[in-house]
Amino acid sequence: MVKDRKKKRKRYAAASILFLAVCLIWLSAGALEMENELRQTEASTGISDNETVLLGGMPAGIYMETDGVMVLNTEAIEGTDGKEHEPAADIVQSGDYITAVNQEEISGKSDLLEAVDHIDSEDVILTLRRGEELLDVRINPVECAPDKYKLGIWVRDNVQGLGTITFLTEQSRFGALGHGIHDVDTNVLMTISDGTLYKTSIQTITKGSDGNPGTMEGIIVYNRYNELGTIDKNTEAGIYGTIEKIDELFDEQIPIETAKTEEIVTGDATIRCFIDNEIREYQIQVTDIDTSGKEINKGLVIQVTDPELLEKTGGIIQGMSGSPIIQNGKLIGAVTHVFVQDSTKGYGIFIENMLDQLK
């Protein structure tokens, strides 16, 4: 099956088409997501009707900025009166986004810090986005030094790391990871304003074991020369955007037909990912299929059976999220999670769920 597909490989002429697939995401902040019952961790596009896309499997660097400044937590501050004050407690919440200070719009931490530098003893009005709601809240800043005030709020305005590309459409739209990027402190799906995809160089792979998932780590140089494209969506079904430098990410461009969910069966399949400086397919088994839709990125249960991949990685590792899953010559989904207690097993997302995000 693999040999037959290789014979069909061809380059898409003139169209800037690329097929991105992101293998299990690894975030610099530590993107290991565990669940209480099954203790899984994230391993990490929309037109159905058996659309043909370009096949991914290559790693890429990820940088995304939040839409507003995300609140992580609040803290107590010692004032000039020698007392502890927590001005933001019970007013702002973890996962809120600060979008304005005293009706002046802010877009990042630098804007927020500058606004705080200009406040005085008077109340400060913060505009927050909480879920789908916008609300104004009033906070009394604490004077911590002469004419210096603080709000007592920990914030974040960006996230970065690396992952694997899953596919690229004829419109140069890519899908990656197969799961969303959540804030490591609050576990809230991050709302982004924009982002950039970069070249990356994988440096080390740490083999996983039961109870200790492995990792894929690389170097990302955040400059214009290394930019590959833009990111505009972060969803529970993955990250999405547009590739501008297709040839720089894909040495070969392999068209593949996508499968409808009802075409997927238990049994033999392969995953395509970047190991030992090459992209290739490794043997797995699809052991279970859940079409209930209860969790958008956990429709497939897979198990790595390839002796070579097991020897090199121990199974599924962080950084493989988005690795394409192929069965009967079609793209059926992408790797999304690894079972912490059994690194040979993990979850995958149906490719239809990823393609739906591009509609």
Q: How many CB atoms within 10 Å of residue 226?
A: 17
- pLDDT of res. 31: 35
- Structural domain count of the chain: 2
Let me know if 168 is exposed, middle or buried by CB neighbors in 10 A (0-12, 13-18, 19+).
buried
**257 falls within a domain:** yes
pTM of the predicted model, to two decimals?
0.81
φ and ψ of 23, to 5 deg: -75, 140
288 and 351 assigned to the same domain: yes
Could you read off the pLDDT of 114-144 as tens digits, one per residue? 888 888 767 899 999 998 899 999 999 998 8
Residue 325 scores a pLDDT above 90: yes
85 and 126 assigned to the same domain: yes
**274 falls within a domain:** yes
Mean pLDDT (whole number) for 56-67: 93
351 and 284 assigned to the same domain: yes
- pLDDT of res. 213: 84
* CA distances to 8, 19, 199 from 61, in Å: 29, 15, 6
- Counting residues of the chain whose pLDDT is more than 70, the rounded percentage is 86
212 and 288 assigned to the same domain: yes
What is the Cα–Cα distance from 149 to 101, expressed in whole angstroms?
14
The domain boundary residue, chosen from 127, 151, 175: 151
